[in-house]
């Protein structure tokens, strides 16, 4: 039972570089970034930082979902519903309850964009009922849209959230508890997020530069992405087209600091090592690493050291795609899972935009242009606050 493979049969995505999988691929192949000044949020930081923003307004997103004007969908929920609906359609699922089906959705922002509208007027005398704030709200709305009732769960482990959602979905399939699971994550931009990261002093006022010696910090982003995971039995019974497989996964928590990664990348090293062990492959079998690569001084050095602990001086081709989309927080692991599958399908590696200068301590040079190459295995990293480190390995077969 535990040897059952986990197939990926559908994908959906909406990000700052495109509202579909095809649009995202086109942007990646043509180096069209989504980083720009803030448009949809009225904040004092509007002209001081850059973000990866989905340019549609909430009203436009709601209209595409055919919601009435009195809906209580947060931006996080709107983005999540659109991407999850795409994934199910892509997997050609007509009857959601034909098999035991679950939904595992990740978020960190939740409904904060709606909650913060009431912040100034919220006091002991005036209370506004806010029922879309909690993280589970977006999951419930996605499940209702898709008609999923067998199993739902919400994961919030900071920026590794969606990777952990994918991991849990795979384990539920391998253990025989579910036949298919829609997995991924969603996060909309909000003042809360912008102000929080501004306080941490890790936002860049320019386009971010992952793995560059002169990196200044990250660009926040918003996005949603979901994958459809299905068992071998479902794939065979329905004669499904398989986009790729989730071959390995691992997570670890080094509990080094509330926000910073450990100096030697302990958690990242352990997560990658576990993923390679579960995939039953050697480190040199990895053809491409989609790195977490946030462009913060701490993350890139820590992740780089962890990679070098595994590979020494023989590091595989790698790049971070966050210079395209910004750091999409809880959605990041799912966004980059979609990009990893696209890399496998198209035998292509995506560029690490804006790179110029090697980090002296690492001497690691990322891929800086679209590069064609036979790819059988992709390793994708997602690391979050509190030392939450997760690694996924995707394969063609």
pLDDT in tens, 273-313: 999 999 999 999 999 999 999 999 999 999 999 999 999 99
- Three-state DSSP at 278 gives helix
Residues 153 and 254 in one domain: no
Considering the domain architecture, whether residues 211 and 134 belong to the same structural domain is answered as yes
Q: Are residues 361 and 271 in the same domain?
A: yes
Q: Cβ contacts of residue 126 below 8 Å, gap of 6+?
A: none
Residue 83 shares a structural domain with residue 116 = yes
Domain end, chosen from 238, 271, 302, is at 238
Q: In this structure, is residue 1 part of a structural domain? A: no
Tell me, yes or no, whether 11 lies in a domain: yes
> For the domain that residue 303 is a member of, what is the CATH number?
3.40.47.10
Can you list the residues of the chain whose pLDDT is less than 70? 1-3, 120-129
Q: What is the pLDDT of residue 114?
A: 86
Site of tokens 């991924």: 184
175 and 49 part of one domain: yes
Domain boundary among 202, 217, 238: 238
Q: In this structure, what token pair is assigned to residue 264?
A: 């030697």
- Residue 121 in any domain: the answer is yes
Do 286 and 230 fall within a single domain? no
Kindly state whether residues 136 and 170 are assigned to the same domain: yes
- Taking the alpha carbons at both ends of the chain, their separation in whole angstroms is 18
Q: Rounded to two decimals, what is the model's pTM?
A: 0.96
- What is the model's pLDDT at position 387? 82
Residue positions annotated with a catalytic role: 159, 292, 327
- Asked, for residue 363, whether it belongs to a domain, the answer is yes
205 and 328 co-located in one domain: no
Q: List alpha helices for the chain, DSSP H.
A: 21-29, 58-64, 75-90, 112-115, 136-146, 161-174, 191-199, 232-238, 266-279, 297-311, 322-325, 332-346
- pLDDT value at position 128? 54
202 is a domain residue: yes
Domain presence at residue 32: yes
121: Cβ–Cβ under 8 A, 6 or more apart, which residues?
Answer: 128
Residues 298 and 234 in one domain: no
What is the span of the domain harbouring residue 188? 6-238
Separation of alpha carbons 336 and 340, rounded Å:
6
Q: What is the DSSP string of 316-363?
A: PEEE--HHHH-B-GGGHHHHHHHHHHHHHHHTEE---TT--S--TTT-
């Amino acid at each position: 039972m535990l040897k059952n493979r986990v197939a990926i049969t559908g994908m959906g995505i909406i990000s700052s570089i495109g509202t579909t999988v095809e649009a995202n691929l086109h942007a990646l192949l043509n180096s069209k970034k989504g980083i720009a000044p803030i448009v949809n949020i009225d904040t004092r930081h509007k002209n001081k930082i850059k973000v990866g923003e989905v340019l549609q307004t909430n009203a436009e997103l709601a209209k595409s979902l055919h919601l009435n004007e009195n809906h209580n969908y947060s931006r996080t929920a709107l983005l999540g519903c659109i991407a999850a609906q795409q994934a199910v359609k892509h997997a050609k699922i007509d009857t959601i309850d034909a098999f035991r089906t679950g939904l595992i959705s990740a978020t960190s922002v939740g409904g904060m964009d709606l909650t913060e509208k009431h912040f100034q007027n919220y006091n002991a005398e005036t209370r506004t009922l806010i029922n879309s704030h909690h993280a589970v709200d977006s999951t419930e709305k996605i499940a209702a849209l898709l008609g999923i009732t067998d199993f739902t769960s919400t994961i919030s482990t900071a920026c590794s959230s969606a990777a952990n959602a994918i991991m849990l979905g795979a384990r539920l399939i391998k253990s025989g508890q579910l036949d298919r699971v829609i997995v991924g994550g969603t996060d909309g931009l909000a003042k809360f997020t912008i102000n929080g990261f501004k306080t941490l002093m890790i936002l860049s006022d320019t386009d971010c530069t992952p793995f560059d010696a002169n990196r200044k910090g990250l660009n926040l982003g918003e996005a949603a992405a979901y994958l459809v995971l299905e068992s071998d039995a479902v794939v065979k019974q329905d004669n499904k087209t398989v986009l790729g497989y989730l071959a390995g996964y691992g997570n670890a928590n080094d509990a080094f600091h509330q926000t910073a990664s450990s100096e030697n990348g302990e958690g990242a090293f352990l997560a990658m090592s576990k993923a390679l062990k579960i995939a039953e492959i050697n480190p040199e079998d990895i053809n491409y690493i989609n790195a977490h690569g946030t462009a913060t001084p701490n993350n890139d050095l820590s992740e780089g050291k962890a990679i070098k602990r595994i590979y020494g001086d023989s590091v595989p081709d790698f790049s971070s795609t966050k210079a395209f989309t910004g750091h999409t927080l809880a959605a990041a692991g799912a966004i980059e899972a979609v990009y990893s599958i696209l890399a496998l399908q198209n035998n292509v590696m995506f560029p690490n935009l804006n790179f110029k200068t090697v980090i002296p301590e690492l001497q690691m040079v990322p891929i800086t242009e679209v590069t064609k190459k036979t790819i059988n295995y992709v390793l994708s990293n997602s690391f979050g606050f509190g030392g939450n480190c997760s690694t996924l390995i995707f394969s063609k077969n």
